[in-house]
Amino acid sequence: MTSPTSNSSIGRIYLDNNATTRPFPEVVETIAHHLQHSYANPGSRHVEGQFARKALESAREGIADLLGAEPDEVVFTSGGTESTNMALFGASRCEPGIIALTAGEHPATVESCRELEKRGWKLLFLEFDEDGLLKTDALSELPWREIRIVSVILAHNETGVIQDLSVLSQLCQEYQVFLHVDAVQAVGKIPVRFDELAASALSFGAHKFHGPRGIGGLLLRRGVQLAPTAFGGHQESGKRPGTEVTALASGMLRAMQICLDGLDERTQQIVALRDRLQNGLLQGYESASVNGSIEHRLPNTLNIAFPGIDGEVMLVNLDLHGISCSLGSTCASGSAEPAPVLLAMNRPEEVYNSSLRFSVSIDNTIEGIDAAIERILTAAHRLRETSASHAV
């Protein structure tokens, strides 16, 4: 199978960067370098092993510094899903109580919590308003003395909505509740500081910010203990067994450095691309509407509804015409059910059945965005006409 045409030729246009991103060339170079030179097992005591260990710990220190954590709070994992599982299952080895989460959490969180529900835990779903923002007014009225775990997404993978977690984190501290923050979609796109969030644990994954797949991390607050969820080794201070991959950890650090270096300027460029796409689609399709807060969202994310069109049909049609986008979370793409986050926002059926997610990156261009607008609108109007004729 040949590689898809690059955006520069206005062939295929990749607008699914919340699903995964293309690794930066510098990241690929970093990984290749360490595969050649830091190949040894970092747990070995010989010279080669110690060389790999030094590189691994350098990556750990760099990531900790960028995320407002201490090096010994960084646990390397295979990615965001493993990190979330580790946090929730590790924190649940106590007397079952209530787990509080939002109805729009990522499948890694929801499915983990559903499994814990089978083990005696009760789930309490926190409410969103119509913009996808957490309703904070009623948080103090929750049964905090029964809540043991809170898990909340910082920036939503489908709508891009960014939550203000200050009230929630204060309550968790007051009642000594374990707070897990899913920052998988946030790290690399907006400033994320573990020391400011006051969370017990925080998940992130490299491939969401132009790093390699197969590597991520869990930030675990000093003094917070998790029961082991896997066995077979002493690595990562006994928290996560298995030989660490120095090359991937180093590649993740390099990606994070590139994303956060000049973040303000990069954000302006990405917002300009996202807003150009948004405005073009809203102007060209009269009944189109944006899902989620316009003000409080990731700079790259646009979740938009095209009433009168079936989103699944639109998705396939756009792929055939060179546009890569998504209905929502790729981890739940096998499901025909409406996106839970849109249901939680009380969006009407004609909206949640016709919504698509477009997520841009620094790889996109103005020319590519303009071409995407034309293709999307052409497909949308054609499909609406077809749908209307079938309804007659």
Alpha-carbon distance values, 125 to 19, 35, 223 (Å): 25, 44, 28
Above 70 in pLDDT, residue 311?
yes
> Same domain, yes or no, for 295 and 229?
no
Name every residue whose Cβ is closer than 8 Å to that of residue 67 and which is 6 or more positions away in sequence.
74, 187, 192, 193, 194, 202, 204, 219
Provide the CATH number for the domain around residue 294.
3.90.1150.10
52 and 87: one domain?
A: yes
Instruction: Give the model's pLDDT for residue 6.
Output: 44
Which residue from 211, 166, 169, 161 is spatially nearest to 186, judged by alpha carbons?
161
Last residue of some domain: 260, 288, 315? 260
pLDDT of residue 254: 99
This prediction has a pTM of: 0.94
pLDDT at 391: 57
**Does residue 45 lie in a domain region?**
yes
Q: Which of 260, 275, 298 is the last residue of a domain?
A: 260
Q: What is the pLDDT of residue 80?
A: 97
Structural domain harbouring 323: 7-17+262-391
Let me know whether 223 and 212 are in one domain. yes
127 domain-assigned: yes
Question: Burial of 156 by CB count in 10 Å (0-12 exposed, 13-18 middle, 19+ buried)?
Answer: buried
**Is residue 121 domain-shared with residue 247, that is, in the same domain?**
yes
Cβ contact 104:229 at 8 Å: no
Higher pLDDT, 197 or 230: 197
Q: Do 252 and 384 fall within a single domain?
A: no
48 Cβ neighbours under 8 A, 6+ residues apart: 39, 40
Residue 220 inside a domain? The answer is: yes
230 or 175, higher pLDDT: 175
Does 2 fall in a domain? Answer: no
- Considering the domain architecture, whether residues 137 and 242 belong to the same structural domain is answered as yes
Residue 355 counted as domain residue: yes
CA distance 33 to 27: 10
> What is the average pLDDT score of the chain?
94
**Do residues 167 and 200 both lie within one domain?**
yes
DSSP 336: -
pLDDT reading at 215 higher than 80: yes
Of 210, 226, 260, which residue sits at a domain end? 260
Provide the pLDDT for residue 2: 44
Q: How many CB atoms lie within 10 A of CB 94?
A: 10
The reply to whether 13 and 85 lie within a common domain is: no
* Residue 292 within any structural domain of the chain: yes
In angstroms, the CA 20 to CA 331 distance is 11
Residue tagged active-site, from 113, 172, 325, 331: 331
CATH number at residue 120: 3.40.640.10
304 φ, ψ (degrees, to nearest 5): -135, 140
Closest listed residue to residue 297, CA positions, set 276, 271, 263, 323: 271
- The answer to whether residues 173 and 279 belong to one domain is no
pLDDT of residue 390: 61
Residue 3 has pLDDT above 60, yes or no: no
Taking only the tens place, the pLDDT of each residue in 38-60 is 999 999 999 999 999 999 999 99
Beta bridge partners of 124: 100
- Report pLDDT for 318: 98
How many angstroms separate the CA atoms of 250 and 63, rounded?
9
H helical segments located in the chain: 25-37, 47-66, 80-91, 107-118, 166-174, 194-197, 246-260, 263-284, 311-320, 340-344, 349-352, 366-391
Answer yes or no: do 55 and 84 share one domain: yes
Tell me: pLDDT of 288 over 80: yes
pLDDT over threshold 50, residue 367: yes
Give how many domains the chain has, as a whole number: 2
Report whether pLDDT(319) > 70: yes
Quick: pLDDT tens for 154-203.
Answer: 999 999 999 999 999 999 999 999 999 999 999 999 999 999 999 999 99
In this structure, is residue 302 part of a structural domain?
Answer: yes
In tens, the pLDDT along 339-353 reads: 899 999 999 999 999
Tokens of 95: 């007397």
5 versus 358: the higher-pLDDT residue is: 358
Same domain assignment for residues 13 and 45: no
pLDDT class of 332 with cuts at 50, 70, 90: low
Residue 358 lies in a domain: yes
227 and 270: one domain? no
**pLDDT > 70: percent of the chain:** 94
- Give residue-wise pLDDT tens across range 70-120: 999 999 999 999 999 999 999 998 899 999 999 889 999 999 999 999 999
The verdict on whether 172 is a catalytic residue reads: no
Residue 237 confidence (pLDDT) above 90: no
